[in-house]
Structure 1
Amino acid sequence: MIKKQTITNYINMETAIKTYDRNALVCGSPAWRYVYHAVHSADKWFFNPAKFTEPDFHENGMDNPDNPCEKVLSNEQLLDYLHKVQAKTEKYLDELSDEELNEKPDGCEYTRLELILGQFRHISSHIGMINGQTIERTGKFPIFAGLDGKQTDKLFDE
């Protein structure tokens, strides 16, 4: 169940990336920074933040949209990163036992289940924020995969 709903979250994030205005300002930062923030957070906090290695393209502080950043990631780079994090997450969940959900990863103060649920909340929050910006700009609602996890080629609910 966790894997199915996690995949659905990643599907919804992909749709958000394909429909948003990457340069629209959100709290003073371009929206793409919030996309990176959400994907980076999933990469770090879904597993074990105490044992995380930054991606090669990361600059210090880039994961915080409030920090100035010289580097600009394209939507293609963001989607590539999202797909890598999704594959890493699916592999992790395939190997995770029910017993391990209540254990804390080495050096981490939270259980694996707390980390997973925290990322469900975090990713969903940012998808909603990004989609709200898209709805305001376009008047169209980005398609949203639900409990069944069905993916469609459509980007908007029309």
Structure 2
Amino acid sequence: MPARAIQKSKSHQGPLVPNLLPCRIHRDGSVDASGRYWKPVLKDGKKIAYFRGRKLYGREFKVPQGYKGVVLLKTNRVLPRENQDRYAGHEDTADIEENEEEQETGILEEKATFDNVMVWGHEVLVDKEDVYVRALEEWVGVAESIHSFAEEKSDAALGGEK
């Protein structure tokens, strides 16, 4: 997989709340999301919206502390070669093994950030068992596993000889 660098977009929208809807739309591109099509309301303490005639109930879930939600756009731009080693954390190119193939570092644009995600259920209020909610929580668990380091235990703690 090619390396990617994230750069803030010139058209950054700031903080927003993404909506996960229980539907599939076979369309790429922008849409006029005017009040005619999407107008969530708060009724009896519940978020309710109608989408294409279907009643949806929404529940907001917070991004865990220590994490940041980001909306990214893949671009065809490439990070200039002189910035790639610095971005990858290399002080100089001597840190890179000679036999390692040089890869281009593609650029992802940060379009917006978010601290909460609104998950909508069709005719029901979603709970922790919802597939989207579980996927978000499991992704955080995987991220913590691959980015954490196990502490080394001494031989004595493992029952070894002194």
Q: Please give the TM-score of this superposition, normalised by the length of structure 2.
A: 0.27
Q: Which has the larger radius of gyration?
A: 2
Larger helix percent: 1
